[in-house]
Structure 1
Amino acid sequence: MTLRIVVIVLVLLIVALYIATYIIRKKYYRTIDELDAKKAKIMKEFPIEKIQSINHKSMTGQSQETAEELKAKWDRIETKEFPMVESLLFEAEQATDRYRFKKSRTEQEAAEGKIREVGDALKTLNLSLDELMKREEDNLKKIENIKKRYHTIRKELLAKSFSFGRAVDALEENLGTMEHDFSVFSNLTAEGDHEEANQLLRQLEETIDNMETLMEEIPELLTVIDDEISEQVQELEGGYQSLKDEGYVFPDDSIKEDLAQVYVKLESISTHIGALEVSHARSEISSLEEKIDQTYDKLELEIESREEVKELTDQIRKIFHYLKEQNRKLFIEIDRLSQSYVLNHEEAEKSDQSQRMIETEESKYMKIAELLAEDRLPFSEASQQLNHIFDQLETVNDQIQAVSQNLKDYRNSELEIKADLEEMENAMREMKRYVESKHLPGLPGSYLDFFFYTTDHIEQLSQSIAAPKLDMKEVFRLHEMCEDDVEQLAKDTDELVDQAVLSELVSQRLYRHKTEHSEVLETIKYSRNLFSEEYDYETSLKMVREKLEAIEPGAFQEVKDQYLKEKNFN
């Protein structure tokens, strides 16, 4: 039974294998047939008639070389490339017959690639053959068009020769060259060298295009030169001469040199146009226009500077008068104040310096005025020099004003310090009364020493400010010292009184705990001894505060807050 089943399975497998093999072979045969159909389609593109037509044509030179190259390409396709396709398809079919499917697939793929390669080569070859066969016809059509454009240019050149200036000769020469090329073209065409004729044709097209461009651009350039630039040059020459007649002077006579350079550039532009170098001519024209603009700017600068010079000379003359008068008054004020004050800011030296600067700048001003009167100085240079003088005089004025303010500050500072002195003396008396009002048993030695130290400084300041001739530098030094001392003494006084009062208040609060804590009385007693005998209010407060905090944390802050509240309220 088992053997029978095995046999049946084997038979089924064989049948399945046969069917599968049959299907695969059919698929491969179908693919090969499709490739064979593509091959047949390519055969229809064989350029046999075109090759025969070329063989019957009479060609020479480059056309003949091109024809030979195309025939060689066709020969390679016909004898090598195409037979290879047939061979690959045959090998694929043979491999399929023998069930060698992998080899068949390889041959099919190679055949497909070769068919595509041959097809592309045939398309390129057909196009090249068409172009070669039509070259003569295309050349004749193009040459006719070029000749028409040539005759149009020649007519325009004859009719409007004046519009092209020096370029006429070069344009005529180009036309003569074209006539020669027309003759060469005819000879090449007659000889059958259509490829060489086509190259000459491209050269003629380039020449005629260039000629048409030149015929359009050159009159435009000449119009710019004749109608715009020449007019500007004439205006420049006329304006320059008019300004010189009016007394204007130009630095190093640069305008005359600029005009000479303008004429050199005009000649260079004309030469470029005569040589049909339009791009160079345009570049030169741009450079020339820039040069003309710069020259105009120089003329305008002198015209504008003249008005500025007139305004500056009037202003500076008045400024000299004003500064001299201000400095004179300053000398008088310095002399007067020097009898009452020791002047600490070199006021006299600075005033002398201002006077010398005024004299120096006035000498420069007079020299400029002299040169202008004699027409020997360009207004632009005069403007720069006068502006410099104006700036220097502004510096002098600032220095005079600064010295004047310093002089005013002496008297103002004296009055302010006297007022501050009076306030500090009052503050010392107030602090003394404040301490006395607290009925303290005494004051610490350090506090008394600083109090009398501050009092001595105030006395020194009082004596210094009352001197017949004040040295304000010394007065300022003492004043600053006294301010610092009084401010510090006020802080020390407040701190001393606060410590004394708080010591008593904290002792009172601590006394409440005498029953529970026997050592409280001893602490209070020792604190009172420091308070009454040694006037050490700080240590006295420290002792009772620490004991109170040990017994009743936070109690000291309550006492202090209540004290400060009542103190600020009062």
Structure 2
Amino acid sequence: MTTRRPIMEFVAISALLVIGGLTYTYVHRKRLYKQIDQLEQWKISLMNRPVPEELSKIKSLNMMGETEQLFEKWRNEWDDIVAVQLPNIEEKLFDIEEAVVKYRFMKAKEALRQTEQQLQEIEGNIQRILLELQELVGSEEKNREEIEQLKEKYRHVKKAMLTQRHTFGRTEAALEARLNELQQQFQSFEQLTTEGNYLAAREVVLLIQNELNEFNRFIEHIPLLLSDAQVEIPAQLDNIIEGYRELLEKEYVLDHLPVEKEVEAIRGKVSEVLALLETLAVDEAEKLLREAQEDIDTLYDLLEKEVYAERFVHEETEKIEQTLYELEEETKETRDETLFVQQSYHLSQSDLDKYRQIEKQVQQLMKRFMLIQQKMIEERLAYSLIREELEEILAQIATVKEKHVQFREHLYALRKDELAAREKLAEMKKQLSEAIRLVKKSKLPGLPESYMLQVSEARESLTRVSLTLDGKPLNMEAVHQSLDEAIVFVQNVYDQTKEMIEQAQLAESVIQYGNRYRRRFHAVNAGLEEAEQLFRRYEYELALQKAIAAVEQVEEGAFERIRQWLKENE
């Protein structure tokens, strides 16, 4: 029994290995056969490509020259594919099947890879042949269609040349030469087509198309450019020279404008434009003509600037003179007003410096304006330069005016501040009197020394404000400082008065309320007696605290009820 068991295990393992090997072999062979079938189908599809049909279309063309050469080339390539390359593929597929049958799987796989690569190369060659065939046939069809359209365009261009010949000037000879070249291109196309060179003829068609487009642009632009160069720009230049000389006759100073030199330079550009047009260099001529027009526009702008400047100078000079005179008079008035204000108010050194600066700037503006007037009489100055200086003076006048207005407003504000301070002082005095009236009305037995000291300080602060306001010259900075202090003192007295009266009333009410507990509770009696003694010494806050503490011992929340009752019965 012990020897039979290992034998049985060996047999079972061997059987499993054999079954596994057979299964692997079956699956692998099936996969390889499938690949062989796929390559066979590919080969058949390549043989059925419509190359012969496409080649037959070429026979309808002129079988000469380039067409004949290409036809022979493509036919030979297709014959080689059908007669040599694809049969070789067929033999290789048989060899691969034989290798699979003999279990030479590695050899079969390598052969399959090589065969697939060869089929890909054949596929690429067939695609190329078909594309080249389509290109040749398509070129012939496109050439036949487009050449008629181009001939019609050519006839239109030639007609335009005849009817508009007078608008082309010296460019006519160059245009005629280009037309003759176009005629030769048409002849070249016909010859290439007759010889079967359809692809080369296609290049000629595209060339003619570009040439006609450019020629259309020539006959459209050249008359306009010639008109600008021969008529418009010379007329503008003559106009500039005429205007320049008129301004000189009117005694304009134009030494800084080399107008005649610039005009000659522009005439030179125009001559260059005409020379470029004679060679049909239209783009370069158009660019140079734009530059010439920009130069002309600049000259116009400069001359117009002088005309406008002359008008400005004559219109504004008198106004500026009047404005400066008025500003000078106003600053004199401000000087008198400043001296008057100094008698009653204290002006800081900064304020005085501001006025002196204003006065100095006005004098400088007057001197500068007079200098400009003198130059206008004695020297030859361009109006544009004079205008620039006058505009600077106007800007400075505006700045000085603004500073002057601000200074005058400051002088007015000083008086305004004084009145406001006196009104505030009266208000503070009234508030202090109100506090004293409340004290008298409350009929308190007396007043704490601390409170009396606060009242005294408040009165002294009000006195200091009055004395500062009566000072000569009036120093508003000192007034504001003393007034701010007085406001604090008086407000403290007023707040303390209301608090003290309220504490006294509450203390008195709590003591009266606590009297009901005096006989029954010794501690309450003692506390209330102490509160009464503090009340008689005018220590109302402490008296209230002691009275509350005594009553709250026997009746918690009594103080809040008393306060609420007092509020309801005010």
Q: Which of the five TM-score ranges fits, normalised by the shorter chain?
A: 0.7 to 0.9
Q: Structure 2: how far apart are the matches of 1:531 and 1:43?
A: 131
Give the counterpart of 1:476 among 454, 473, 480.
Answer: 480
User: Match of 2:257, SS?
Assistant: helix
Paired amino acid for 2:465 = L
Find the partner of 2:399 among 391, 395, 400. Answer: 395
User: Match for 1:274: what amino acid?
Assistant: E
Q: Distance in 2 between matches of 1:408 and 1:50?
A: 108
2:43–2:119 Cα contact (<8 Å) kept: no
Deviation at 1:525, TM superposition (A): 1.6
What amino acid is aligned across from residue 540 of structure 2 in structure 1?
Y
CA contact (8 A) 1:457 1:482 kept: yes
Report the counterpart of residue 532 of structure 2 in structure 1: 528
Q: 1:559 and 2:565 equivalent?
A: no
Question: 1:284-323 to 2 correspondence within 5 Å?
Answer: 284-323=288-327
CA pair 457-195 structure 1, distance change in 2 beyond 3 A? closer
Selected match of 1:212 from 216, 223, 241? 216
Q: 1:459 to 1:512 in 2, by over 3 A?
A: same
User: Does the CA-based 8 Å contact 1:63-1:196 persist in structure 2?
Assistant: no
Confirm or deny: 8 A CA contact 1:32 1:93 kept in the other structure. no
Q: Following the alignment from structure 2 to structure 1, what is the Cα–Cα distance between the partners of residues 265 and 555?
A: 106
CA contact (8 A) 1:249 1:375 kept: no
The SS at the match of 2:370 is: helix
Deviations 1:196-224 (A, max 9, x none): 45545543443344233323332233234
Aligned to 1:508: 512
Distance 1:375 1:64, change over 3 A: farther
Give the match for residue 537 of structure 1.
Answer: 540
Q: Which moved more, 1:162-171 or 1:175-184?
A: 175-184
Go from structure 1 to structure 2 and tell me whether the alpha carbon gap of 1:49 and 1:178 turns closer, same or farther (over 3 Å shift).
closer
1:270 is matched with which residue? 274
Matched residues in 2 for 1:175 and 1:319: separation? 74
Structure 2 portions without partners, runs of 5+ = 1-36, 103-110
- Write the letter of the residue equivalent to 1:270: L
The answer to whether the 8 Å contact 2:171/2:278 transfers is yes
Change beyond 3 A, Cα 1:494–1:142: closer
Deviation at 1:489, TM superposition (A): 1.7
Displacement, 1:170?
3.7
**Inter-partner Cα distance in structure 1 for 2:48 and 2:470:** 131
**Unaligned 5+ residue runs, structure 1?**
1-29, 99-106
Once the 2 structures are TM-superposed, how far is the Cα of residue 262 of structure 1 from its aligned partner? Answer: 3.7
Distance 1:420 1:144 in 2: 105
Pick one of 365, 370, 383 that aligns with 1:366: 370
Please say if residues 168 and 223 of structure 2, whose CA atoms lie closer than 8 Å, have aligned partners that are also in contact. yes
1:59-70 pair list within 5 angstroms = 59=65, 66-67=70-71, 69-70=73-74
* Secondary structure of 1:253's aligned partner: coil
Give yes or no for the alignment of 1:223 onto 2:249. no
How many corresponding residue pairs? 544
For 1:398 and 1:536, the matched residues in 2 are separated by 62
Q: Give the alignment of 1:131-280 within 5 angstroms.
A: 157=161, 160-175=164-179, 177-178=181-182, 195-196=199-200, 198-200=202-204, 202-226=206-230, 228-249=232-253, 252-253=256-257, 259-260=263-264, 262-280=266-284
User: Which residue pairs with 2:429 in the alignment?
Assistant: 425
Question: Displacement of 1:252 after TM fit?
Answer: 2.7
User: Do the aligned residues in 1 keep the contact of 2:170 with 2:278 (CA within 8 Å)?
Assistant: yes
Q: Does structure 2 retain, via aligned residues, the 8 Å contact 1:170–1:275?
A: yes
The yes-or-no answer on 1:459 pairing with 2:463 is yes
1:491 aligns with 2:495: yes
Question: Residue type of the partner of 2:364?
Answer: T
TM-aligned CA distance change 1:57 to 1:373, over 3 Å: same
Question: What is the 5 A alignment of 1:79-98?
Answer: 79-80=83-84, 82-83=86-87
Task: Give the counterpart letter for 1:241 in structure 2.
Answer: R
- Mean Cα deviation higher: 351-360 or 41-50: 41-50
Q: How much has 1:514 moved relative to structure 2?
A: 3.9
- The within-5 A match list for 1:8-27 is none
Matched position secondary structure for 2:338: helix
Which letter maps to 1:350?
A: K
Q: TM-score, normalised by structure 1?
A: 0.75
Query: Cα distance, 1:253 vs. partner?
Result: 1.1
- Say what the alpha-carbon RMSD is for the aligned residues: 5.2
Q: Displacement of 1:490 after TM fit?
A: 1.3
Aligned to 2:453: 449
- When residues 88 and 372 of structure 1 are mapped into structure 2, their CA distance, relative to the original with a 3 A threshold, is farther
User: 1:278-308 CA deviation, whole Å, 9 max, x = no partner?
Assistant: 2333334444444444444444444444444
Q: How high is the sequence identity, in percent, across the aligned residues?
A: 26
Shift of residue 353, structure 1, vs aligned partner: 2.2
Quote the residue 2:16 is aligned against.
none
- Residue 330 (structure 1) aligned with residue 334 (structure 2): yes
